[in-house]
Homo-oligomer: A and B are copies of this chain.
Amino acid sequence: MKKHNFSAGPSILPEEVFKKASQAVLDYNNSGLSILEISHRSKDFIAVMEEAQSLALELSGLSGKGYKALFLSGGARLEFDRIPYNLMKVNGKAAYIDSGSWAAGAIKEAKIFGDVTVVGSSKEDNYSYIPKGYTIPEDADYFHCTSNNTIYGTQMQEFPETNVPIVCDMSSDIFSRTIDFSKFGIIYAGAQKNIGPAGVTLLLIKEEILGKTGRTIPGMLDYQQHIEKESMYNTPPVFATYTAMLTLQWIKANGGIENIEKKNNEKAALLYNEIDRNSLFTGTAIKEDRSKMNVTFVTVEGVNTDAFDKLCKDAGISGINGHRSVGGYRASIYNAMPIESVKVLISVMQEFEKSFK
């Protein structure tokens, strides 16, 4: 049975990426060797790393603008520590927005390193909106935000104007929409939503903001070391980087971010329209901050969800349970999610509604 995978991450990737990655595990580029057994210092892999970095800069429009792209292991959560290590001066301070669980995790880590000002928070309202109208202190070493809150289904629609370097966790919406990436000092994203499998993190770093903290930074935590060694300071996650490269190739071949954004807008509009129309469901995020990646919703009071769960299962829909911390439903409709799968979900929602009448 055809599966419709709405998992929040690791999540669906393009079918052709799976096919190429699977073939590469058996025999990479007709080399007679698996991608899993080639040296990261081989010409074959260096070409992969270079293409991945170059595609990331090209898709973001950052080529030639003083940015470096890195593909590192450790997980986006490791950046919660690397960022203050690399940007927060000794006795300095940083400004953060608390817009969800991951943002709160980043704040907790930054506090280990120094003074953190939380300039806005929606925690009291269960993170159902993006904090706005805040002021970023001009003496902050950096400002940190989370562009899309995977668990709560909210997304920043715009980013602040400030002279302070903006650091943004774009793990769950990177390369899903056109953005002026040059507004940011550091963008980071775990690959496992829009740009690859779990096991690799993309960083886009404006080089001039580094080297100003006065801290002694351990080697693996030092962005300058990774930049100098072009993501090869240690053995990189070869297969995850290769699969990320394939996914970036797919984005480029499919009309780049501009075209991907059109499709993402269409998918999100269809699904939110159904949630708003259907008498059995309600969205959980406020409308103006709704995420086009993670669509969160619940059933209205008094509705037993067992029948809906069964209809989903019978239709091959998987991964739409809400995050274990919040419950409800969450349909993640990342770049690689076909509109056909969204339509299947909508028809199941309609079928469920009919069964109640």
Residues of A within 8 A of B (CB): 1-3, 5, 7-13, 18-19, 21-23, 25-26, 31-34, 36-42, 73-78, 80-81, 105, 108-109, 112, 190, 192, 197-200, 216, 218-221, 233-240, 243, 316, 318-319, 324
Contact = CB atoms under 8 A, between A and B. Distances in A.
A257 to B, nearest CB: 21
A7 B199 contact: no
A231 B13 CA distance: 24
Contact of A22 (B23, B74, B109, B243): B23
A13 B39 contact: no
A32 B235 CA distance: 32
A318 B33 contact: yes
Contact of A319 (B39, B218, B235, B238): B39
Contacts of A236: 198
A9 to B, nearest CB: 7
Given A10-B36, A73-B199, 20 more contacts: A3-B31, A7-B38, A8-B39, A10-B37, A18-B26, A32-B316, A36-B243, A73-B73, A73-B237, A77-B233, A78-B220, A78-B234, A81-B219, A109-B220, A112-B218, A198-B235, A198-B236, A199-B200, A237-B240, A239-B239
Contacts of A37: 5, 7, 10-13, 18, 197
Copies per assembly: 2
Contacts of A197: 36-37, 238-239
A190 B234 CA distance: 10
B36 A81 contact: no
Contacts of A21: 25, 36
A18 B2 contact: no
A108 B1 CA distance: 54
A112 B199 CA distance: 27
A247 to B, nearest CB: 10
Nearest to A192: B235
A237 B237 contact: yes
Contacts of A81: 218-221
A199 B237 contact: yes
A39 B11 CA distance: 7
Nearest to A113: B218
B235 A190 contact: yes
Nearest to A15: B34
A236 B10 CA distance: 10
Given A10-B39, A18-B26, A239 B198 contact: yes
Contacts of A218: 80-81, 109, 112
